[in-house]
């Protein structure tokens, strides 16, 4: 099941908050002339684990649930959802 928790900030989802935190952490690490602190490395590791879990959940949804949904739509002669390869961001 996908985690749809809200942060309380005008509907920003938990997933976009995670992406924002990862971006902020990467910027801080790139701007520093010192090696990352143990705390920064721990946060990075935790965020990488969370991101990996999100990717696994998304892949499962896309492969199982979207396939089943498209089959249902095809049976009813309704246009179905087309999945394309992801485009790199940036």
Task: Give the residue extent of every domain in the chain.
Answer: 1-90
The helix-helix angle for 14-31 and 38-60 (nearest 10°) equals: 140
Distances (CA, A) of 11 to 8, 24, 35: 6, 20, 35
pLDDT in 10s for each residue of the chain, 90 residues: 444 454 455 455 767 777 788 788 788 877 877 888 899 899 889 989 998 998 999 888 888 888 888 888 889 888 877 766 666 655
Q: What angle do CA 49, 36, 23 make, to 5 degrees?
A: 50
Distance of CA 29 to the CA centre of its chain: 21
pTM: 0.49
């Amino acid at each position: 099941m996908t985690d749809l928790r809200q942060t309380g900030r005008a509907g920003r989802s938990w997933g976009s908050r995670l992406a924002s935190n990862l971006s902020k952490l990467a910027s801080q690490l790139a701007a520093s002339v010192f090696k990352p602190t143990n705390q920064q490395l721990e946060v990075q590791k935790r965020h990488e684990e969370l991101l990996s879990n999100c990717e696994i959940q998304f892949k499962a949804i896309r492969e199982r649930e979207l396939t089943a949904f498209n089959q249902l739509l095809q049976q009813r002669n309704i246009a179905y959802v087309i999945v394309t390869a992801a485009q790199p961001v940036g």
